A = this chain, B = another copy of it.
């Protein structure tokens, strides 16, 4: 009689998956009325519900969630963080935002601070290295979800990201379809899991069009300094270049300005497409084509998964990929 039932027991007794039990408990997602009744009966019969309520009470919930973000001035990050905050607030949770400035020491300091403040859960957004929660005093106590950043141990978490690979394939293909013969990729020197997927998508799209990626001919690395000069030198060495896939819109906008300064006409001489669908894309001249990430969906899926983990009704180990879409504007016509 005193057996402690787990969510796996409930799933087995109900004859459905753990994910379905989780959806029924949180009244979230699709399941039939029949499934709902069946699962709820098992939960009542086993007293599972009181179990996890008691667990929550024991845990002394603070109804606050921490977010580690590498750079709040980046459009994609700010946008996702704001949407997550809005959804969490509606569900009764406060969001504590920490800007880590891509600094590992700072990240660890903020992790410890968040632990000391008694957060119920953690969201980790993109960063250069794999995320490692094991340096905390009680890492197993804080459920966490990773966006765009592969964690060191995927078994403890849920990993959510846009389909960066597919976005890069579509961006590159759109350049070929618009008539480009020699497209290149423009990226930062900094790498991350999302940027490596974008690079892989670009390489595979080249291969499909019978071009073998060659780092010195098909890839320009541009950080914030001397963009116009570097681009000009590259184009003098490789005058056949007629298309640029920029790994994000911030690079794309910089490349666009640099091309105009060099005296190139966009899209006539060189076509260009970015990634992220930054609001400034419609104000550039010409307007900038881009790959749109579905930030509404990323935010919703992130919150759903974190709340499930906090309530002990979620499962870890999953990787969830969110589709992206191509937004064609003047710069790649």
B-contacting residues of A (Cβ < 8 Å)? 62, 64, 71-73, 75, 78-79, 81-82, 85-86, 89, 94-99, 101, 106, 109-110, 113, 116-117, 253-254, 256-257, 260, 280, 282-285
Contact = CB atoms under 8 A, between A and B. Distances in A.
B109 A89 contact: yes
Contacts of A253: 280, 283
B94 A97 contact: no
7 contacts: A81-B99, A85-B99, A95-B98, A96-B96, A96-B98, A96-B117, A97-B97
A290 to B, nearest CB: 14
Contact of A110 (B73, B79, B94, B254): B94
Contacts of A64: 113, 117
As for how many copies of this chain the complex holds, the number is 2
A71 B75 CA distance: 12
Given A64-B113, A73-B75, A256-B283, A82 B99 contact: yes
Interface centre among A62, A116, A117, A257 (most CB of B within 10 A): A117
| Residue in A62, A99, A116, A256 with the greatest tally of chain B CB atoms within 10 Å | A99
Nearest to A256: B283
Contacts of A79: 73
Main secondary structure of the interface of A (DSSP, over half): helix
Contacts of A62: 116
A81 B78 CA distance: 13
B101 A99 contact: no
Contact of A72 (B89, B97, B101, B283): B97
Contacts of A85: 99, 101
Given A81-B99, A95-B98, A96-B96, 8 more contacts: A64-B113, A71-B82, A72-B72, A86-B101, A94-B98, A254-B283, A257-B282, A284-B284
Contacts of A283: 253-254, 256-257, 280, 284
A254 to B, nearest CB: 7
A260 to B, nearest CB: 8
Contacts of A285: 260, 284-285
A89 B108 CA distance: 12
Nearest to A63: B113
A283 B253 CA distance: 7
A225 B86 CA distance: 22
Nearest to A79: B73
A71 to B, nearest CB: 8
A77 to B, nearest CB: 9
Nearest to A258: B283
Given A81-B72, A82-B72, A99 B97 contact: yes
